[in-house]
């Protein structure tokens, strides 16, 4: 079976209803930032996630940056952040001139370790320098242990920013992902479970804070007839056209979650008896959107390495990738303080060494997924 059309890790999947909202923006000649689609998407996002308010912006990164501004993170402050994540989770800490402290994962969720976090906060308190915030990331759609993490942060009086860029549509104990911290962050990048091409959102139960975020995101323009500015602002608000795409995408979010979960289950069943293949777990009481199907491949048990799988798939025009390279291993964060799960046991190092992401797009056909499975199985037979 030949495959000329590239199978991507996660490509955009349009609903077919996007043009209706885009046309409405054109008909109203409201194509700049702000407008009916921006208002509509914010309202619908807040309703979907059962949270008081949402502010849509140009990216998830922008949303994290605004959250840090709202929490008054500044020069010489520290911010704790999950180490096993994409760099966008941590970069905004540097935008503010603050210092990141990186926290390891644990195996139940692949997300922030409550053990490591408590140790890090205890040391910070003893040093008289608690962080201004903790950024908890929900990797590949799976919620972190939010009850434990929030409880620990509350005990130290430190606010949580929940980076749910990859977990829109997931739930934790019946509550929507992204709604556990002081602020939650979503991404609508081109590869996410729903997309606006580029975009993101900041969500919170604190309506006043989100009102301030909109002010900061529109160049922090004071209430004056002339252009007057008393503090630093940004050009972060989403355009009305892009928001129209988002409204149509949000309508099919639950369908997209169902499809990605089905893709994950098909992979898991296909390799259920394969030694050395361990799929990303789903914490009891949670429902992951399974944005990407992720697993670890132990070469000693499996007989093949992750690199061999990636190369073999790439030769068939199929995209697969390692899991995120942890921030504490990145040149950018060389010398930054890092707290492993336990002394001498860095979980994220092992996940990076063996972790693999397989094509998981909701527009992937059964035949395309069979191609991926067959290619890996033929490699295993060799």
Residue-wise pLDDT for 203-225, tens only, equals: 999 999 999 999 999 999 999 89
In this prediction, what percent of the chain has a pLDDT beyond 90? 96
pLDDT (tens digit per residue) in 216-267: 999 999 998 999 999 999 999 999 999 999 999 999 999 999 999 999 999 9
Q: Residue 326's pLDDT band (boundaries 50, 70, 90)?
A: very high
Instruction: For residue 83, tell me if it sits in a domain.
Output: yes
Same domain, 63 and 24: yes
Same domain, 158 and 272: no
Same domain, 133 and 242: yes
Instruction: For residue 36, tell me if it sits in a domain.
Output: yes
In terms of Cα–Cα distance, which of 138, 131, 148 is closest to 76?
131
Asked whether the beta carbons of 246 and 196 are under 8 A apart, the reply is yes
Instruction: For residue 7, tell me if it sits in a domain.
Output: no
Q: Where among 206, 221, 251 does a domain terminate?
A: 251
Q: What is the pLDDT of residue 4?
A: 72
Same domain, 24 and 166: yes
The separation between CA 154 and the C-alpha centre of its own chain, rounded to angstroms, equals 23
Q: What is the pLDDT of residue 202?
A: 98
Residue 98 corresponds to which tokens in the numbers above? 């603050």
Instruction: For residue 94, tell me if it sits in a domain.
Output: yes
Question: What is the total count of domains within the chain?
Answer: 2
CATH code for the domain in which residue 247 is found: 3.40.640.10
Q: How far is the C-alpha of 153 from the C-alpha of 354, rounded, in Å? A: 31
Residue in 132, 145, 176, 192 annotated catalytic: 192
Q: Where among 217, 251, 285 does a domain terminate?
A: 251
CATH code for the domain in which residue 377 is found: 3.90.1150.10
Asked whether the beta carbons of 193 and 142 are under 8 A apart, the reply is no
* 3-class DSSP assignment, residue 321: strand
Asked whether the beta carbons of 35 and 28 are under 8 A apart, the reply is yes
How many Cβ atoms from other residues are within 10 Å of residue 152's Cβ? 21
Same domain, 148 and 237: yes
Q: Specify the DSSP element, H or E, that contains 166.
A: none
Beta partners for 188?
none
Same domain, 183 and 112: yes
Return phi, psi of residue 319, to 5°.
Answer: -85, 130
Instruction: For residue 2, tell me if it sits in a domain.
Output: no
Four-CA torsion 305, 311, 313, 315, nearest 10 degrees: -150
Q: Specify the DSSP element, H or E, that contains 249.
A: helix 240-251
In terms of Cα–Cα distance, which of 127, 189, 115, 117 is closest to 153?
117
- Beta strands 338-339 and 355-358: pairing type? unpaired
Same domain, 39 and 152: yes
Residue 5 corresponds to which tokens in the numbers above? 């059309």
Asked whether the beta carbons of 282 and 337 are under 8 A apart, the reply is no
Q: How far is the C-alpha of 26 from the C-alpha of 264, rounded, in Å? A: 39
Asked if residue 3 has pLDDT above 60, the reply is no
Half-sphere CA count of 225, side-chain side, radius 13 A: 0
Q: Tell me how many degrees the CA angle 211-93-78 measures, rounded to the nearest 5.
A: 105
Same domain, 290 and 247: no
DSSP secondary structure of 100-154: EEEE-B-TTTSSB-HHHHHHHHHHHHHTT---SEEEEE-GGG----HHHHHHHHH
The parent domain of residue 321 ranges over 253-381
In this prediction, what percent of the chain has a pLDDT beyond 70? 99
Burial 342-351 (b: 16+ CB within 10 A, else e): eeeebbbbeb
Q: Where among 221, 251, 281 does a domain terminate?
A: 251
pLDDT (tens digit per residue) in 4-41: 799 999 999 999 999 999 999 999 888 877 899 999 99
Same domain, 247 and 261: no
Q: What is the mean pLDDT of the chain?
A: 96
pLDDT (tens digit per residue) in 130-161: 999 999 999 999 999 999 999 999 999 999 99
Instruction: For residue 96, tell me if it sits in a domain.
Output: yes
Q: What is the pLDDT of residue 31?
A: 83
Same domain, 268 and 242: no
Q: What is the pLDDT of residue 32?
A: 77
Same domain, 138 and 271: no
Instruction: For residue 89, tell me if it sits in a domain.
Output: yes
Instruction: For residue 10, tell me if it sits in a domain.
Output: no
Q: How far is the C-alpha of 325 from the C-alpha of 81, rounded, in Å? A: 14
Q: What is the pLDDT of residue 29?
A: 87
Average pLDDT over residues 188-202: 96
Cα separations in angstroms, 363 against 9, 255, 313, 317: 11, 11, 19, 17
- What helix, strand, coil percent values describe the chain, rounded to 5? 40, 20, 40
Same domain, 101 and 46: yes
- Residue 175 designated active-site: no
């Amino acid at each position: 079976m030949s495959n000329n059309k590239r199978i991507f890790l996660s490509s955009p999947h349009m609903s077919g209803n996007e043009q209706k909202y885009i046309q409405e923006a054109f008909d109203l000649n409201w194509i700049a930032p702000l407008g009916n689609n921006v208002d509509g998407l914010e309202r619908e996002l807040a309703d979907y996630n059962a949270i008081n308010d949402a502010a849509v912006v140009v990216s998830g990164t922008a949303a994290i940056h605004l959250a840090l501004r709202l929490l008054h993170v500044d020069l010489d402050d520290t911010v704790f952040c999950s180490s096993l994540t994409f760099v966008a989770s941590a970069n905004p800490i540097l935008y503010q001139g603050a210092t990141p402290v990186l926290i390891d994962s644990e195996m139940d969720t692949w997300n922030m370790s409550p053990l490591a976090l408590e140790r890090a906060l205890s040391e910070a308190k003893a040093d008289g320098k608690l962080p201004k915030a903790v950024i908890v990331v929900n990797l590949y759609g799976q919620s972190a242990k939010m009850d434990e993490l929030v409880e620990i942060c509350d005990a130290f009086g430190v606010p949580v920013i929940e980076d749910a860029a990859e977990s829109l549509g997931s739930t934790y104990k019946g509550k929507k992902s992204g709604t556990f911290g002081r602020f939650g962050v979503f991404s609508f990048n081109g590869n996410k479970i729903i997309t606006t091409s580029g975009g993101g959102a900041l969500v919170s139960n604190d309506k006043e804070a989100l009102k301030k975020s909109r002010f900061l995101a529109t160049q922090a323009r004071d209430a004056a007839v002339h252009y007057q500015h008393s503090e630093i602002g940004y050009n972060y608000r989403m355009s009305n056209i892009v928001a129209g795409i988002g409204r149509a995408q949000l309508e099919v979010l639950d369908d997209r979650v169902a499809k990605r979960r089905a893709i994950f289950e098909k992979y898991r069943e296909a390799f259920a008896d394969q030694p050395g293949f361990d799929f990303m777990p789903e914490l009891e009481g949670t429902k992951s959107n399974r944005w990407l199907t992720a697993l670890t491949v132990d070469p000693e048990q499996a007989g093949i390495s992750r690199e061999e799988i990636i190369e073999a798939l790439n030769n068939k025009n199929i995209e697969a990738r390692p899991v995120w390279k942890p921030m504490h291993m990145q040149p950018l964060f060389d010398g930054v303080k890092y707290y492993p799960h336990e002394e001498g046991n860095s979980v994220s190092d092992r996940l990076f060494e063996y972790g693999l992401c397989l094509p998981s797009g909701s527009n992937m056909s059964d035949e395309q997924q069979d191609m991926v499975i067959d290619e890996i199985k033929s490699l295993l037979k060799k």
